[in-house]
Amino acid sequence: MDIRLNQLTMQFEEMTAVDRMTTTINNGELVSLLGPSGCGKSTTLMLLSGLYKPTSGEIFFGDKNVTRLDAEKRKIGMVFQNYALYPHLSVLKNIMFPLRMQKVPKKEARERAIEMAALVRIDHLLKRKPAQLSGGQQQRVAIARALVKKPKLLLLDEPLSNLDARLRLEMREEIRRIQQEVGITAVFVTHDQEEALSISDRVMLMNAGSIQQDSTPQQMYKKPVNEFVASFLGNPPINLMTVERMEARQYKLENSAQMVLLPERLNHERVRVGVRPEDLYLTDKDSGLLSGKVLHIETIGRDTMIRLKIGNTSVRALVDPKHQLQTGDICTLGADRDNIHYFDCDTGERVNVEKEAQGDADTADVEEYA
């Protein structure tokens, strides 16, 4: 069952929590809703579940318009951030609850609940009360309860945020395993980019109620459609700087005398340039993008992170630790042209140069795709 959102909008008094959202979630996909706090992720999920009704716009489950359909009729399973298990019921009773509400006979409900408990690997805990379980176990119970009635759509609202780092890693793999084993369409809300990028087929990055980019994780990372997406993803964050054209490919860093040599000719007099720290490497002066003085060196795992001062901006780069660098050294950084992103100074939209890169660099003018 595909799920289609059409111009979905949700307004709370003055606040527009979800703004004209249009997208399609394909059958069997796991889609992440990613974005900063307050961007409307939970609200979107509540709209999908039917717990909130939208101000305007439509939701289709398959061919059926479910916009005004109540939650209990939508055949969905939902997992909440705080799990929302019924504290007075045992694990087994918790998982049986949705079935009992559907008047499934007790015996059958029991069997199906036990089967589901086995799938999420908590069948040894059936008699316990939620308070006697660890966070990860409660999480599994919540998933089992959401799946036991065989929903068409599984909604998860930051299900991992209450877990410690190791468990989070384990549980996100578990969620992926269960989702694929059951073959259910799932929407997963998170504000953790790594979580979103690692488990989902597709990521929808939201900001201020609207989708910024809706693509595969790799695509989002490699080709951010605007400055927000570029700066939201990646840790350490992408380096962004504003440059002004001097001549041809020679640009000057704004508010400084520092020169930046871009590998492309752009139509823009002023443009925002973004390069991820991991895409920068040390090189010699001629092929370099920019150069500056090393301010700070630190070791992050296997890499060395250096911070350069270039004009008034500082630029982070992850470099090979075999280079013997000292603070105070002057060094030059380069980047592959595919890894350099350009954004419009005013709109923040991506300035695309792909076409030009393939053609003749001297004759073809830069084409832009907003």
Ligand X SMILES: Nc1ncnc2c1ncn2[C@@H]1O[C@H](COP(=O)(O)OP(=O)(O)OP(=O)(O)O)[C@@H](O)[C@H]1O
Query: Which residue, 109 or 340, has its beta carbon nearer to another protein?
Result: 109
Q: 3-class DSSP state for residue 260?
A: strand
Considering only 7, 15, 64, 285, the residue that binds ligand X (CB under 6 A) is 15
Nearby residues of 247 by Cβ (< 8 Å), 6 or more positions away: none
> Could you say which residues in the range 82-141 bind another protein, by CB under 8 A?
82, 84, 86-88, 97-98, 101-102
Q: Which amino acid is residue 126, in one-letter code?
A: L
Query: Using CA atoms, how far apart are residues 97 and 114, in angstroms rounded to an integer?
Result: 12
> Where in 39-98 is the site for Mg ion (CB under 5 A)?
42
Distance CA 194, CA 353 (A): 28
Select the span of 32-40, 145-153, 210-218, 354-362 touching ligand X (CB under 6 A). 32-40
Over the window 33 to 62, marking each residue x when it contacts ligand X by CB under 6 A and - when it does not, the resulting string is: --x-xxxxxxx-------------------
Q: How far is the CB of 72 from another protein (least distance, A)?
A: 4
How many residues of this chain bind ligand X (CB under 6 A)?
12
Please say which residue, 39 or 315, places its beta carbon nearer to ligand X: 39
CA 122 to chain centre: 29
**Using the rule CB under 8 A, is 81 a contact of another protein?**
yes
**Residue 38 interacts with, from another protein, Mg ion, ligand X, none (CB under 5-8 Å by kind):** ligand X
- In sequence order, which residues have a C-beta less than 8 Å from that of residue 224 and are 6 or more positions away? 213, 230, 233, 274, 341, 350
| Residue 28 interacts with, from Mg ion, another protein, ligand X, none (CB under 5-8 Å by kind) | none
Indicate whether 72 belongs to the interface with another protein (CB under 8 A). Answer: yes
> Starting from the edge strand earliest in sequence, which strands make up the sheet with 313-319, in order?
281-283, 330-334, 290-300, 303-310, 313-319
Q: What's the closest the beta carbon of residue 97 comes to another protein, in angstroms? A: 6
- Residue by residue, DSSP assigns 335-356 as --GGGEEEE-TTT-BB---HHH
CA angle 195, 3, 156 (to 5 degrees): 35
CB of 117 to another protein, least distance (A): 16
Nearest residue to 2 (alpha-carbon basis) of 21, 23, 22, 25: 25
Where on the chain is the footprint of another protein (CB under 8 A)? 46, 49, 51, 70-72, 76-78, 80-82, 84, 86-88, 97-98, 101-102, 145-146, 149
Where on the chain is the footprint of ligand X (CB under 6 A)? 12, 15, 17, 35, 37-43, 191
